């Protein structure tokens, strides 16, 4: 099994290291000091489950890698439309693209069935630019429940969780999903093949759609947002509006708002990825988290006044951050 990790940052390098440990032919595509460190010392994983080092091939040139069986995308979703020149050399006729993204993916309505089958969301696939680069037929969905961070160039700190749920857009249990799941599990990760991954997408989105923008606006940790009565109430309303949109699309996430809030509070003084991006002057990945659900609310006719308000304010913040 040949795997190319395009965007081998904290999550990508962690997955690549696990697959390399399982015996897969892994190629990590990165740049800068992180690439230099991985070339010299491999990926050094620091984890409560045990430290290890994986000396996988690392490069900044996808042409040096060539076509792979799987491309694991560790890029931010707002980079997908521009990644064509990077991903093209990695593709053959049957290459599967596994996107480890938060929020609503570009392939969401691909083989969805029902009245929205094949519909394109402008907020996540503007003008079809993402689908033109990443054909939905190649997509294997992936919902990441692991938390990692780059402690230093080439050093991945694994904080918690090892679950990477995967699934086909058409809800089938395909050979390519089964093979990937087996390799991930051999590398020490949890990788269930879900019959309907969209439920997992909405479960994780309940937290991302509320905590991520609010954390950036308030510059607050998870625990701070949960402890503050007013903010907790806003987040609760946002989650309930999100659940209403999911249900209008025929998806039942199977988790209560109370349980989601309790889990978030247990995380403690953690800064969301959106807050970290804001602090580092990086673009904020809010379109796939928030704008997409507002667009889905427009499609389904579900009222989401609080989501609209937070979207308007956080969108202005994102524009200022990108300036």
Query: Does residue 175 sit in the same domain as residue 31?
Result: yes
Tokens 């799941």 belong to residue: 181
pLDDT at 285: 87
pLDDT at 323: 60
- Measured on CA atoms in the order 39, 55, 282, 60, is the torsion positive or negative? positive
* SS3 call for 25: strand
Query: Does residue 180 sit in the same domain as residue 39?
Result: yes
For 48-64, give the secondary structure using H, E and C.
CCCCEEECCEEECCHHH
Which residues constitute the domain of residue 315? 198-322
Query: Does residue 187 sit in the same domain as residue 63?
Result: yes
Q: What does pTM read for this prediction? A: 0.93
Query: Does residue 250 sit in the same domain as residue 119?
Result: no
Query: Does residue 246 sit in the same domain as residue 176?
Result: no
CA–CA dist 48, 33 (Å, integer): 25
Q: Of the candidates 195, 219, 247, which is a domain's last residue?
A: 195
pLDDT tens digit string along 254-294?
888 988 888 888 877 888 889 989 998 989 989 999 999 99
What residues contact 251, with CB distance under 8 A and at least 6 apart? 196, 198, 199, 202
Query: Does residue 54 sit in the same domain as residue 149?
Result: yes
Query: Does residue 183 sit in the same domain as residue 288?
Result: no
Q: At 132, which CATH number?
A: 3.40.50.720
Given 76, 190, 204, 282, the catalytic residue: 204
Query: Does residue 248 sit in the same domain as residue 143?
Result: no
* SS3 call for 157: strand
CB 173 within 8 A of CB 202: no
CB 85 within 8 A of CB 63: no
pLDDT surpassing 80 at residue 322: no
Position with higher pLDDT, 258 vs 91: 91
Query: Does residue 246 sit in the same domain as residue 181?
Result: no
- Closest by alpha carbon to 71, among 162, 133, 23? 133
Query: Does residue 178 sit in the same domain as residue 211?
Result: no
Q: In the numeric block, which tokens belong to residue 215?
A: 């954390």
pLDDT at 320: 78
pLDDT tens digit string along 196-249?
999 999 999 999 999 999 999 999 999 999 999 999 999 999 999 999 999 999
Q: At 290, which CATH number?
A: 1.10.1040.10
CB 107 within 8 A of CB 80: no
CB 160 within 8 A of CB 149: no
- Measured on CA atoms in the order 241, 78, 261, 258, is the torsion positive or negative? positive
Q: Of the candidates 144, 168, 195, which is a domain's last residue?
A: 195
pLDDT surpassing 70 at residue 297: yes
Query: Does residue 163 sit in the same domain as residue 69?
Result: yes
Q: Of the candidates 195, 223, 242, which is a domain's last residue?
A: 195
Please confirm, yes or no, whether 204 is among the known catalytic residues.
yes
CA–CA dist 172, 125 (Å, integer): 24
How high does pLDDT run on average in the chain? 95
Query: Does residue 103 sit in the same domain as residue 213?
Result: no
How many domains would you assign to the chain? 2
Count the alpha carbons within 13 Å of 238 in the hemisphere toward its beta carbon: 28
């Amino acid at each position: 099994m040949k795997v190319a990790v395009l965007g081998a940052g904290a999550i990508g390098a962690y997955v690549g290291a696990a697959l390399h440990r399982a015996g897969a032919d892994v190629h990590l595509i990165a740049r800068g000091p992180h690439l230099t460190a991985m070339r010299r010392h491999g990926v050094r994983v620091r984890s409560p489950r045990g430290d290890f080092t994986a000396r996988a091939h690392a490069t900044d040139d996808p042409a040096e890698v060539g076509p792979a069986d799987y491309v694991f995308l560790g890029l931010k979703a707002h980079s997908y439309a521009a990644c064509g020149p990077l991903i093209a050399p990695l593709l053959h006729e049957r290459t599967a693209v596994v996107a480890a993204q938060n929020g609503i993916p570009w392939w969401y309505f691909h083989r969805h069935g029902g009245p929205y089958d094949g519909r394109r969301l402008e907020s996540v696939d503007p003008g079809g630019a993402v689908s033109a680069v990443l054909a939905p037929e190649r997509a294997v969905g992936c919902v990441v429940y692991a938390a990692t961070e780059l402690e230093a160039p080439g050093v991945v700190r694994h904080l918690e969780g090892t679950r990477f749920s995967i699934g086909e857009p058409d809800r089938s249990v395909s050979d390519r999903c089964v093979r990937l799941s087996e390799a991930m599990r051999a590398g020490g990760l949890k990788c269930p093949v879900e019959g309907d991954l969209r439920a997992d997408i909405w479960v994780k989105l309940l937290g991302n759609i509320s905590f991520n923008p609010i954390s950036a606006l308030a510059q607050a940790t998870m625990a701070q947002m949960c402890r503050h009565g007013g903010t907790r109430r806003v987040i609760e309303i946002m989650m309930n509006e999100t659940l209403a949109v999911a249900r209008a699309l025929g998806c039942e996430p199977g988790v209560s708002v109370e349980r989601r809030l309790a889990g978030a509070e247990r995380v403690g003084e953690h800064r969301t990825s959106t807050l970290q991006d804001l602090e580092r002057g990086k673009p904020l990945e809010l379109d796939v988290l928030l704008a997409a659900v507002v667009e889905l609310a427009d499609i389904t006719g579900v009222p989401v006044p609080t989501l609209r308000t937070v979207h308007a304010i956080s969108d202005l913040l994102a524009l200022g951050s990108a300036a």
